[in-house]
């Protein structure tokens, strides 16, 4: 009698219907958003993230709104990691993703709100990089643009954000002028 391969018979040597090793691969969950985000982080020589890939992530989010909390958590962790390692070029990718998400998935803004505000606060606290503070201001403007005024007042501490933005605009005017 010949030897059966492991593909037909699992390692436990019994053939039962509920065996996980016989389950089809398509039934196991695939983290497609992690693959898309890793493709976004493969920056070309000019250092700008690929808009087509960010658009692909936006399409994925609009089709799978239940995945938004996992996606935002993953993006937050990635941003914090890049900031910890002082890799500001890759840290700039996350605000670009959030800005595009806020513009293209307006119906899912409440699901993105908490994470967006955490990223904005983190970016505005980066005193060593004016570029990140400017991106934080732009992200805040995009977030507020899609909000109803009463919702925006209850969701965030506007005084802190606006003071920081005014200070940053003043620094920018002094730098340019």
Domains of the chain with CATH codes:
32-154 (1.25.40)
Place of tokens 């087509």: 52
pLDDT digit string (tens) for 4-30? 444 555 556 555 656 655 555 545 555
Say whether pTM exceeds 0.75: no
In this structure, what token pair is assigned to residue 131? Answer: 């570029």
**Contact yes or no for 72/115 (Cβ under 8 A):** yes
Coil/strand/helix, residue 18:
coil
pLDDT at 132 exceeding the cut of 70: yes
Q: What is the pLDDT of residue 150?
A: 47
């Amino acid at each position: 009698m010949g030897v059966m391969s492991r593909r037909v018979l699992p390692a436990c040597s019994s053939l039962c219907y509920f065996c996980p090793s016989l389950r089809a691969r398509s039934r196991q969950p695939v983290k497609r958003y992690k693959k898309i985000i890793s493709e976004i982080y493969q920056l070309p020589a000019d250092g700008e993230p690929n808009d087509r890939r960010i658009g692909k992530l936006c399409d994925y989010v609009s089709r799978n709104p239940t995945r938004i909390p996992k996606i935002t958590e993953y993006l937050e962790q990635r941003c914090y990691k890049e900031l910890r390692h002082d890799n500001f070029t890759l840290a700039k990718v996350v605000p670009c993703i959030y800005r595009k998400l806020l513009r293209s998935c307006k119906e899912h803004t409440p699901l993105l709100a908490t994470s967006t505000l955490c990223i904005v606060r983190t970016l505005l606290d980066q005193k060593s990089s004016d570029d990140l503070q400017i991106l934080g201001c732009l992200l805040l403007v995009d977030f507020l643009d899609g909000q109803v005024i009463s919702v925006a007042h209850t969701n965030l501490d506007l005084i802190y954000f606006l003071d920081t933005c005014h200070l940053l605009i003043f620094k920018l005017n002094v730098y340019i002028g």
